[in-house]
Amino acid sequence: MLNKPLSSIYFTAFDFETTGLYPDRDKIIEIGAVKFNLQGDEFRFSGLIDPGVMIPAEASAVNGINNEMVKGKPGISEILPGFLSFISGTVLVAHNIGFDANFLVQAVNTSGLDTEDLICLDTVLLARRYFKGAYSYSLENITRHLGIKIENAHRAEDDAAACMKLFIECIKNVPDYKYAELKTLLKHSGLRKKSLIQNYTTGR
Ordered per-residue pLDDT tens for the chain, 204 residues:
999 999 999 999 999 999 999 999 999 999 999 999 999 999 999 999 999 999 999 999 999 999 999 999 999 999 999 999 999 999 999 999 999 999 999 999 999 999 999 999 999 999 999 999 899 999 999 999 999 887 777 789 999 999 999 999 999 999 999 899 999 999 999 999 999 999 997 644
Helices 156-171, 123-130: axis angle to 10 degrees equals 40
Say which CATH number the domain at 177 has.
3.30.420.10
Residue 70 in domain: yes
Q: Does some domain include residue 1?
A: no
The residue type found at 23 is P
Structural domain boundaries enclosing 63:
6-200
pLDDT of residue 194: 95
Q: Model pTM? A: 0.94
Residue 90 placed within a domain: yes
Q: Is residue 39 part of a domain?
A: yes
> Three-class SS of residue 97?
helix
CA nearest to 60, candidates 20, 16, 108: 20
Q: Catalogue the active-site residues.
A: 154
pLDDT of residue 150: 76
Length of the chain as a residue count: 204
Residue 34 lies in a domain: yes
Is 167 a domain residue? yes
How far, in Å, CA of 129 to CA of 122, rounded? 11
Distance CA 13, CA 60 (A): 23
Query: Domains in the chain: how many in total?
Result: 1
- Give the pLDDT of residue 202: 61
Instruction: Mark out the alpha helices in the chain (DSSP H runs).
Output: 57-63, 67-70, 76-87, 97-110, 123-130, 139-145, 156-171, 182-189, 196-200
